[in-house]
Amino acid sequence: MNTKVTIDGSAATLKLIGRLDTPSAVALESELDPIKAEGITSLLIDCSELSYISSSGMRIFFTLYKHFTAKGGSLVLKALNEEIKEVFEMTGFLSIYTVED
């Protein structure tokens, strides 16, 4: 899986490309430090090219959600594909995230 991080002031964008499976989730975790930095209060995760997410990936999303809401910021998921959206819905996670098309 490939990732692209862009930071614009207090807002960060994380673009995920490919499959976010267990090994990819481990790799992603180590790339999150710049996003979790002091001044950043909101995060947009661009999922337009994300084809798959496992429970490990979902746990990372939830950890980030807790991180930003604790700061009084926000986490937005953008362009989730139908399958991923459905899994989030089945597991009850969809209701807690802000989702953009």
Partner 1 sequence: MRERRYIIDVFHRNIAAMLFFFLSTVIVTFVDSIIISRYIGTHAMDANGIMATYNKIISTLILALTTSIQLMSAKVLGKGQKEEAMKLFSMSVVFALAVSLVLASITFFAPYSIARFFGAYATPLRETVVRMLMGSAIGLPAMFVAPQMMRILQLSGNTKSLFFSMIALGSVNVMNDIIVVKFLGGDMFYFTLGSSVAWYVLLGILHAIYRHDSNKLSFHYLPWDKLGLVLKTSLPTMFAGFGEATKVLLLNLVFLHLSCRESLTLANFARFSGLYALISLFAVAVVNSVSVMVAIYVVEKNAKAINLIRKEAMKMLLVVMCSISVVLFIFGKWVVGIWCHDVTSVEGYSMLVCLRLLLVSVPVQAFVMFYNKYITGVGHYKFGVIQIILSTFVFPVAFTALGAWIGSFFDGVGDEATWIGYFVGHAASLAMILVYSKVGDIPLHFISKEIRSYQRNQLALCPITQDEAVETAEKMQVFCNEHGVSRKQSYLVSLCCEELCNNVVEAGHDNNLMIRVRVLCEPSKENPDKKTVTLTIQDNGSYFDPVRYYEQHPFVDRDCFTGLHLVFKVAHDVKYVTAFRMNTSIITL
Q: Pick the closer one to partner 1 by CB: 31 or 86.
A: 86
Between CA 38 and CA 22 the distance in angstroms is 28
Residue 16, amino acid: L
Stretch that binds partner 1, among 2-10, 35-43, 69-77, 85-93 (CB under 8 A): 85-93
Kindly identify the residues of this chain, within the stretch 13-72, that bind partner 1 according to CB under 8 A.
19, 21-23, 52, 54-56, 58-59, 62
Measured between alpha carbons, how far is residue 84 from residues 1, 18, 67, 98 in Å?
Answer: 16, 13, 22, 14
Residue type at position 43: L
What is the rounded distance in angstroms from the CA atom of residue 53 to the CA atom of residue 44?
Answer: 17
Task: Please name the residue that has the structure tokens 């481990």.
Answer: 26
| Residue closer to partner 1 (CB basis): 73 or 93 | 93
Closest distance to partner 1 from the beta carbon of 29 (Å): 15
Judged by beta carbon, residue 5 or residue 26, the one nearer partner 1 is 26
Residue 96 in contact with partner 1, rule: CB under 8 A: yes
* Binding segment toward partner 1, per CB under 8 A, in 2-10, 33-41, 72-80, 90-98: 90-98
Q: Three-class SS of residue 23?
A: helix
